[in-house]
Amino acid sequence: MHMADALLSPAVGGTMWVATAGAIAFCAKKVQQDLDDRKIPLMGVLGAFIFAAQMINFTIPATGSSGHLGGGMILAILLGPHAAFLTIASVLTVQALFFADGGLLALGCNIFNLGVFPCFIAYPLIYKTLAGDRKSPMRIAIGATLAGIIGLQLGALGVVLETVLSGISELPLEAFLWAMLPIHLAIGLVEGLVTTAVISFVWKARPEILEYSATSRPLGNLSITKVLTGLALAAVITGGVLSWFASSFPDGLEWAMAKTSGQEELAAPEKGIHHFLAGIQEKTAFLPDYAFQTNEQEPASQEKTPPSWLTVDTGSTVSGLVGGCLTLMLAIAIGFLFRKRNQIM
């Protein structure tokens, strides 16, 4: 499942982007150093292949519902982990840009969840260990299936953690986990089986392809650990800084602005329209009453008090709604104004 911008906080999104960007840079360097420049066009067409293959459905046995290919494992087996990661990242980027599968900020999370786990954990640690050099249909099947399951489980775990840490969705951690993990167990199983089907086909038709990818550039244990440690450190440091930033200063932008402008809040000019408006605001009767009314009706004790930095000023909300509606209408109006002009398609 893909992460979405709507559920992501800048802190979590930014952290994951840092980790992903690091991974991309690392893999780009590795692929560059790879003496086999056949990989470059191959990555391109295999990415396009995965893209197209994902559009074709198949029926999942025993359920009758239709499934689609993920493809991460196939790429890892054919291209090796580094090139496969770049390919997966590119496919996800195109999907994010063109089909709103997630969003720009969430892209970092998605590339991490769907790229790092299959390529750098599931493939080397599971598939290669099981199927690696001594290939046989059974080994390929077990290796691919298990790797698919584990890769997807980790990916699902990633989504859950990122959502919960962002704090925008209300779902509690436990409930979310109970919802996501079992579903992705099933999806992982299916993915593993389909991967097996495809790889077996290739292996029967042209085994030398798999031989080539198996022998090229084995991922030594040391490099996985280095990669993961590096990523983890980057994530912790950036995450730590950003979270402190976000918690102490509820409105990070305001804080940044305050720091840059040297004042706590940009002081309103004494004269001019702001003052005029503020004066009008004070004189209107019903807004203060509303605020007052709501407060009285709230019970004295509450199980859940909103955090101090999240007070919703009901007075401003009404005006906010009016202004909001107007803004929305303006936006629609502009759309209509330009509609005639842009209708030619």
Partner 1 sequence: MAKIESTFSDLSRLDALAARDSVIARLDPRVKLLTAVVFVLCVVSFDKYVIAAMLPFALFLSLIMGLGGIPANFILKKLVLVSPFALLLGMFNPFLDQQILLYLGPIPISGGWISFLSILLRFCLTVGALLILIATTGFNGVCMAMEKMGMPKIFAVQLLLLYRYIFVLMDEGQQMYRARALRSFQGRGTDMKTFGHLIGGLLLRTLDRGQRIHLAMLCRGFDGTIRTRRAPRLITRDILLFVLSCLILITMRRYDCSLLLGQLLTGFAQ
Q: Segment 90-119, which members bind partner 1 (CB under 8 A)?
A: 90-91, 93-94, 96-100, 103-105
* 19, two tokens: 């980790």
- Which parts of 15-34 interact with partner 1 (CB under 8 A)? 24-25, 28-29, 31-32
Q: Near partner 1 by CB under 8 A, which window of 117-125, 141-149, 215-223, 289-297?
A: 289-297
Q: How many residues bind partner 1 (CB under 8 A)?
A: 118
Least distance (Å) between residue 77 CB and partner 1: 11
By the rule CB under 8 A, 300 interacts with partner 1: no
Looking up tokens 């019970």 gives: 299
By the rule CB under 8 A, 51 interacts with partner 1: yes
Cα–Cα distance for residue pair 335/88, rounded to 1 Å = 36
Least distance (Å) between residue 312 CB and partner 1: 5
Buried b (16+ CB within 10 A) or exposed e, 61-88: eeeeeebebbbbbbbbbbbbbbbbbbbb
How many Cα neighbours within 13 Å face the side chain of 182? 5
By the rule CB under 8 A, 134 interacts with partner 1: no
By the rule CB under 8 A, 339 interacts with partner 1: yes
- Which parts of 197-236 interact with partner 1 (CB under 8 A)? 197-198, 200-202, 205-206, 209
Least distance (Å) between residue 45 CB and partner 1: 4
HEC sequence for 122-178: HHHHHHHHHCCCCCCHHHHHHHHHHHHHHHHHHHHHHHHHHHHHHCCCCCCHHHHHH
- Which parts of 260-279 interact with partner 1 (CB under 8 A)? 277
Least distance (Å) between residue 224 CB and partner 1: 20
Q: Which residue number, 129 or 207, has a Cβ lying nearer to partner 1?
A: 207
* Closest to 24 in 3D by CA, of 101, 110, 97: 110
By the rule CB under 8 A, 62 interacts with partner 1: no
Q: Looking at the chain, how many residues does it have?
A: 345
* Closest to 95 in 3D by CA, of 23, 16, 194, 4: 4
Residue 317: which residues within 8 A CB-CB, separation 6 or more? none
Q: Which residue number, 32 or 221, has a Cβ lying nearer to partner 1?
A: 32
One character per residue 146-185, x = contact with partner 1 (rule: CB under 8 A): ---------------------xxxxxx-------------
* 297, two tokens: 């009706």
8 Å CB contact between 130 and 146: yes
Cα–Cα distance for residue pair 189/202, rounded to 1 Å = 20
Least distance (Å) between residue 118 CB and partner 1: 17
By the rule CB under 8 A, 301 interacts with partner 1: no
Least distance (Å) between residue 121 CB and partner 1: 21
Least distance (Å) between residue 222 CB and partner 1: 23
* Closest to 152 in 3D by CA, of 102, 108, 187, 121: 187
Q: What are phi and psi of 58, to 5 degrees?
A: -140, 160
Q: Which residue number, 136 or 221, has a Cβ lying nearer to partner 1?
A: 136
Q: Which residue number, 125 or 157, has a Cβ lying nearer to partner 1?
A: 157
Least distance (Å) between residue 132 CB and partner 1: 21
